């Protein structure tokens, strides 16, 4: 892999690049043979990747410090130019979708590309392009605003992201102060957050209508290439998940009451344990990065080799810095065969969760694309790629003592229970968006009311929020950036967790088979979707099968009970 730090981020000649794309589009449209079409596919993809590489690298560096004016200008340049490319990408997909060679495309490049092109029946207009540019501008303004937000903490100013590490303090009152300070920040900025969201919803819905859809809800099915299901199916899935997983909250609530010896569990009783959260044995970012090598060496020497090559390539940005965007993500720069991981370590258990999660993505990228002669036209579906990240978190749990020593069981409980609750909160987020994107005349009160009702449906509101109703009044959605920069993506996490839990179950019974399934799915990413996941791994099924969701939830809750009882037994013995 090429060293990311040595790569110069350049300002491409967008006019020239667009001209090249337009010539290729004309050639692809006029292809008289399948071989001519494939040449056009390669040329188009290579040109897009030339742009994508610079855009991805600019984002990687800008998010690392949003106060750098030069890289900020470069990132904004690419963000504003991207709608021009989106217009051409849509044209390209439509041309391929209308081609007489579409069935051959499916055979050579997979189901996911086939459905992506087959469903590209709409046409981008000049107005649609302008709306995309407006959306991009608003989103980037929001990212900059939040990354540079400061609050007062113990006599000094700290970044908002720092408060989340203070919510993991051993001192219960300090945790309360951190949660209350967070609530205060969002409440004082409430008008800004709600106004930004309402503006984005209006722009996105107008964009979708310009393309011929009723709203952005329907367009999102095409945008995220959701294969074989509609929002009617998603409703059935969300309701099934709420029915079968919601008990998780009650189980955890009862455990907290018993283990913390408290009758009233509050919003700041986010710790399950009497003494403290799981503590890293070495609170040092480089130590955490180094120790992950040991875990990977026990899972697979090939996986370790990928991680080591990423470290050599300087493609993991994990250090905390002033004005750094607080998020974790992974991407793949195909032009230089390099995956990137972006995060912000705080020297607590969240660092391990993010590292293992994002490495799951990075490894999938490598197995799916690296040294693959057809990688220039391979597509994954985002509702399935999250399987790799969530299952990687769980595959690493057995060796958690490498990070946490005697606190390994604590981390295992936090991580595993987090998978179950995330299945709920992400389903909640999807229903929240479906409702408000279809609602007319949105107001602060109407959005808040919708979210408050869904909190009750999915999470049960077991904790006592009488000291600060922010955590139950319908405002808490503001904490999640996905609503601003990745609309309708949240459900992908929930759907993926169902099969990630099953891969974990298989791995605990047969480690070799668990890893074999993981790699088989990654290497067949072009064909991986919920219509045919069982063809790739007979043990896995579609999350739209309610019986599968129910049996998965039963396994998951029983495993959670086992982990909780094991922890309590260990506490009694000690």
Above pLDDT 90, what percent of the chain?
A: 90
Length of the chain: 574
213-228 residue pLDDT tens: 999 999 999 999 999 9
pLDDT band with cut points at 50, 70 and 90 for residue 252: very high
Above pLDDT 70, what percent of the chain?
A: 98
Rounded to an integer, the average pLDDT of 301-330 is 94
8 A C-beta contact, residue 303 and residue 363: yes
- Could you state, in order of their start, the residue ranges of all structural domains in the chain? 4-124, 224-573
| Matching residue, tokens 């969240």 | 350
In CATH, which of 1.10.10.10, 1.10.1760.20, 1.10.1370.30, 2.130.10.10 is domain 224-573?
1.10.1370.30
Three-state SS string across 352-409, please?
HHHHHHHHHHHHHHHHHHCCCCCHHHCCCCHHHHHHHHHHHHHHCHHHCHHHHHHHHH
Cα angle for residues 143, 234, 91 (degrees, 5° grid)? 60
Minimum mean pLDDT range among 29-43, 277-291, 348-362, 374-388: 374-388
* Residue 574 in this model has a pLDDT that exceeds 70: no
Rounded Cα gap, residues 233 and 231, in angstroms: 5
In the 8-state DSSP scheme, what is residue 341? E
Rounded Cα gap, residues 196 and 443, in angstroms: 12
pLDDT band with cut points at 50, 70 and 90 for residue 462: confident
In the 8-state DSSP scheme, what is residue 7? P
Rounded Cα gap, residues 335 and 442, in angstroms: 43
Report the 10 Å Cβ neighbour count for 118. Answer: 18
Read off the tokens for 353.
């969760």
Phi, psi of 464 (to 5 degrees): -85, 120
In this prediction, residue 375 carries a pLDDT of 56
- Reported as type and span, the H/E element at residue 174 is helix 172-188
* Residue 376 in this model has a pLDDT that exceeds 80: no
Rounded Cα gap, residues 197 and 458, in angstroms: 22
538: Cα separation from own chain's centroid: 26
Three-state SS string across 98-157, please?
CCCCHHHHHHHHCHHHHHHHHCCCCCCCHHHHHHHHHHHHHHHHHHHHHHCCEEEECCEE
pLDDT band with cut points at 50, 70 and 90 for residue 65: very high
Per-residue burial over 290-313, b if 16 or more Cβ lie within 10 Å, else e, is ebbeebbeebeeebbebbebbeeb
For strand 150-153 and strand 156-159, is the pairing parallel, antiparallel, or unpaired? antiparallel
Q: What rounded mean pLDDT belongs to the chain?
A: 94
* Residue 461 in this model has a pLDDT that exceeds 60: yes
- Order across the sheet with 338-342: list the strands: 316-317, 338-342, 329-333
8 A C-beta contact, residue 457 and residue 435: no
pLDDT band with cut points at 50, 70 and 90 for residue 157: very high
Count the helices and strands in the chain (H runs, E runs). Answer: 24, 5
pLDDT band with cut points at 50, 70 and 90 for residue 555: very high
* Residue 371 in this model has a pLDDT that exceeds 60: no
């Amino acid at each position: 892999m090429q060293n990311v730090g040595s790569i110069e981020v350049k300002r491409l000649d967008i006019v020239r690049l667009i001209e090249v794309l337009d010539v290729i589009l004309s050639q692809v449209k006029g292809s008289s043979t399948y071989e001519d079409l494939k040449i056009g596919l390669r040329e188009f993809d290579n040109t897009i990747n030339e742009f994508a590489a610079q855009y991805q690298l600019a984002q990687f560096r800008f998010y690392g410090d949003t106060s750098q004016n030069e890289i900020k200008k470069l990132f904004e340049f690419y963000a504003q130019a991207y709608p021009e490319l989106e217009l051409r990408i849509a044209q390209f997909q439509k041309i391929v979708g209308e081609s007489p060679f579409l069935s051959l495309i499916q055979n050579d490049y997979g189901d996911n590309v086939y459905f992506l092109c087959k469903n590209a029946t709409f046409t981008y207009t000049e107005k649609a392009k302008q709306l995309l540019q407006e959306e991009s501008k608003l989103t980037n303004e929001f990212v900059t605003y939040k990354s540079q937000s400061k609050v007062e903490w113990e006599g000094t100013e700290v970044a908002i992201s720092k408060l989340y590490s203070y919510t993991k303090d051993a001192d219960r009152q300090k945790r309360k102060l951190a949660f209350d300070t967070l609530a205060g920040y969002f409440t004082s900025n409430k008008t800004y957050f709600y106004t930004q969201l309402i503006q984005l919803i209006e722009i996105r819905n107008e964009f979708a209508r310009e393309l011929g859809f009723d709203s952005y809800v329907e367009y999102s099915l095409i945008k995220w290439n959701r294969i074989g299901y509609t929002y009617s199916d998603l409703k059935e899935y969300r309701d099934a998940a709420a029915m079968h997983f919601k008990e998780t909250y009650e189980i955890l609530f009862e455990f907290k009451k018993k283990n913390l010896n408290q009758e009233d569990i509050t919003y700041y009783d986010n710790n399950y344990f009497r003494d403290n959260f799981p503590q890293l044995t070495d609170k040092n970012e480089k130590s955490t990065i180094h120790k992950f090598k040991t875990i990977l060496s026990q899972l697979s020497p090939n996986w370790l080799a990928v991680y080591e090559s990423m470290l050599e390539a300087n493609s993991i940005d994990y250090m905390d810095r002033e004005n750094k965007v607080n998020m974790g993500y992974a991407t793949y720069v195909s032009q230089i065969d390099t995956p990137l991981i972006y995060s912000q370590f705080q020297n607590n258990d969240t660092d391990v969760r993010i590292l293992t999660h994002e490495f799951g993505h990075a490894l999938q990228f490598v197995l799916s694309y690296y040294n693959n002669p057809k990688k220039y036209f391979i597509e994954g579906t985002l509702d399935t790629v999250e399987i790799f990240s969530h299952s990687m978190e769980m595959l690493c749990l057995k060796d958690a003592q490498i990070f946490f020593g005697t606190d390994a069981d604590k981390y295992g409980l936090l991580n595993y229970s987090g998978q179950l609750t995330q299945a709920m909160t992400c389903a909640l987020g999807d229903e929240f968006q479906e409702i408000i994107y279809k609602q007319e005349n949105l107001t602060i009160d109407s959005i808040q009311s919708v979210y408050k009702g869904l909190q009750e449906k999915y999470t049960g509101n077991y904790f006592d929020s009488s000291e600060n109703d922010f955590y139950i009044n319908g405002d808490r959605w503001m904490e999640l950036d996905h609503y601003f920069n990745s609309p309708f993506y949240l459900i992908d996490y929930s759907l993926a967790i169902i099969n990630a839990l099953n891969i974990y179950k298989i791995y605990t019974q047969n480690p070799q088979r668990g890893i074999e399934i993981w790699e088989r799915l990654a290497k067949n990413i072009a064909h991986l979707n919920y219509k045919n996941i069982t063809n790739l791994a007979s043990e896995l099924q579609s999350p739209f099968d309610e019986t599968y969701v129910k049996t998965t939830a039963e396994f998951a809750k029983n495993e959670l009970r086992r982990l909780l009882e094991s922890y309590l037994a260990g506490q009694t013995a000690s």
